[in-house]
Structure 1
Amino acid sequence: MTDNRPKMHGLLIDLDGTLYHGTHMIDGADKLISYLRDTKLPFRFVTNNSAASPEDVAERLLKMGIPAAAEEVCTSAQAAAGYISGIRPGASVFVVGESGLTSAAREAGLTLTDEQPDFVLQGIDRKLTYERLTKAVRYIHGGAQYVLTNPDLLIPSGDGLIPGAGSIGAMLKAAGGKEPVLIGKPSPILMEYTLKSIGLAAEEAWVIGDNLATDIAFGEAAGCGTLLVLTGLTTAQNIDYYMEQAGCKPDVVCNHLEELRSYISDHREI
């Protein structure tokens, strides 16, 4: 089924559930990334996480033993800030989020404000207050455009699942009465940002991840090759259920990262 797919010119790689679980590297992740570096196959780490900066993400990977550099990371926060600056350079934004989102906004030349913004820019915020939520709702009702970094309802933490940016977004959408512009996987906005970063057309890139509804749907919608690894959310036991729920199926399924590395070796563009 993949014989007629184009060769791999570059890879867009998910993180949590694909290369690590929490703070623990998945077996073979270090060898996989080292192989990509040694063979000079371009790649980007692509994450819906809006809380961490690219530098933070790279440092976290390095601490787990996975080779990484900040310029290899593409986050939903970067894509969101780039989207806003592309529409209105220097726009004022009210941020509901953490340091990764505020730093991305500043780097994109946006103006952070607590008063009458052009945009409400929302990601995960683990110190969110009711007062800040109230401001966001009032600004949306007052005409501010609403941008949501990613739709993840739940994310893993060291002691279990916690509400993600999508859960906060569900509340703002209900109270604000406005559909947000969605940035992260499976939105094409993060895809466009990442493809520009790596310098490839969609048909030259393959998306690798463990989640059908985000990673695989993300790649399929853009026209990328898609490769599902059974290292995280999706397993051999639940793959049929998640394919039905997501309404999509991957081009290739690999059971583990060693199998993935072997597949890339056989199908990469030389």
Structure 2
Amino acid sequence: MKKYQGYMIDLDGTMYLGKQKIPAAKEFIERLQAKKIPFLFVTNNSTKTPDAVARNLRDNFQIDVDASHVYTTAMATADYLAELDPSKRSVYAIGELGLKAALLNQGFYFEETKPDYVVVGLDSDVTYHKFEVATLAIRNGSKFIGTNADTNLPNEKGLVPGAGSLIALVEKAVQEKPLFIGKPEPIIMKKALDKLGLAKDQVVMVGDNYLTDISAGINFGIDTIIVYTGVSTRDQVAKEKVQPTYQINSLSEWNI
């Protein structure tokens, strides 16, 4: 096993399963902390702020981290757009607090008529009016951005619509594909790597989902570790053309 100087880590399915603890996850993070190895939780969840994500980990799973350990697709979206063209700062966003806070933190302001960007993420209170405003703005020249392409999210009710499903509605209405930021796209990985301040060959992506976590690492050109505690199974992964760098059943098997 290679020794890495930094880790990018998925959350649901890797650190926990919904509201269920994964015992090896807490111990895995404690081993990283004991060796002072930097890590970031890289998540496609755009609805929560970093503080809220860290608080959930602390309060519900006893994983002692803070907001500095969290990098969301909302943050990656705001960071990417901020560097794209510093003169463009108006945005119309379909999304929740996590997305809107990230955009505000990067100096963006919200506008409905002629925004520079239309950003669509998960929004549990989405309305037809929001889709209407987004559609008209994109048709009038606003750049179309999607936080992530996840069509479904697992919760206690089952597989519910994810950000990708909402984005697909706008995509149909404007007949234009968005630029996606989150996993498995390399944009979020590049921004996360910038946060860690390391080189590609020094870091590894850890996750349970081949189609998002592992594909993100592969697309970005870094090593990957798939842990079979969540979405993907060994049989499913065996059929993939490009295999993860490492495959483990539990984080307890990984020697940091």
> Normalising TM by the smaller chain, what interval?
over 0.9
What SS does the aligned partner of 2:23 have? coil
**C-alpha distance in 2 between matches for 1:78 and 1:84:** 10
1:168 and 2:163 are equivalent in the alignment: no
Deviations 1:81-139 (A, max 9, x none): 11111122251000000000000000011111222211101110010001111111111
* SS of structure 1 residue aligned to 2:198: coil
- Partners in 2 of 1:243 and 1:107 — Cα distance? 42
Question: In the TM superposition, what whole-angstrom CA distance separates every residue of 1:133-191 from its partner, at most 9, and x where no partner exists?
Answer: 11111111111100101110101123222100001111111111111111001111101
Contact 2:94/2:123 (CA < 8 Å) preserved in 1?
yes
For 1:183, the equivalent position in structure 2 comes to: 181
SS at match of 1:169: helix
Report the counterpart of residue 77 of structure 1 in structure 2: 74
In the alignment, is the contact (CA less than 8 A) between 1:25 and 1:65 conserved in 2? no
- Structure 2, unaligned runs of 5 or more: none
- Whether 2:238 is the aligned partner of 1:240: answer no
Consecutive unaligned residues of structure 1, counting only runs of 5 or more, are 265-270
Indicate conservation of the 8 Å contact 2:112/2:137, yes or no: no
Task: Tell me the TM-score normalised to structure 1 length.
Answer: 0.90
CA shift for structure 1 position 243: 4.7
Partner amino acid, structure 1, of 2:236? Y
Residue number among 43, 49, 53 corresponding to 2:45 in the alignment: 49
Are 1:212 and 1:248, in contact at CA under 8 Å, matched by a contact in 2?
Answer: no
Would you say the 8 A contact 2:225–2:248 is kept in 1? yes
- Structure 2 counterpart of 1:74, which letter? Y
- 1:243, 1:142 → 2: CA distance? 45
Supply the AA of the counterpart residue of 2:203: A
Within the alignment, does 1:86 sit opposite 2:83 as a pair? Answer: yes
Deviation at 1:240, TM superposition (A): 2.9
Cα distance, 1:23 vs. partner? 1.9
**What amino acid maps onto 1:71 in structure 2?**
S
1:198 to 196, 199, 216: 196
Contact 2:145–2:180 (CA<8 Å) still a contact in 1?
yes
After TM superposition, list the pairs within 5 Å mapping 1:80-119 onto structure 2. 80-89=77-86, 90-119=88-117
Equivalence for 1:34: 30
1:213: how far off?
1.0
1:251 aligns with 2:254: no
Q: In structure 2, give the amino acid aligned to 1:253.
A: Q
The answer to whether the Cα contact below 8 Å between 2:8 and 2:40 also exists between their aligned partners in 1 is: yes
1:227–1:252 contact (8 Å) kept in structure 2 = yes
Count of residues in Structure 1 that have an aligned counterpart in Structure 2: 254
Deviation track 1:64-95 (CA, whole Å, cap 9, x = no partner) reads: 21121101111100010111111222510000
Deviating above 2 A after TM superposition, structure 1's stretches of 4 or more consecutive aligned residues are 239-244
Letter in 2 for 1:69: D
CA distance in 1, matches of 2:64, 2:57: 7
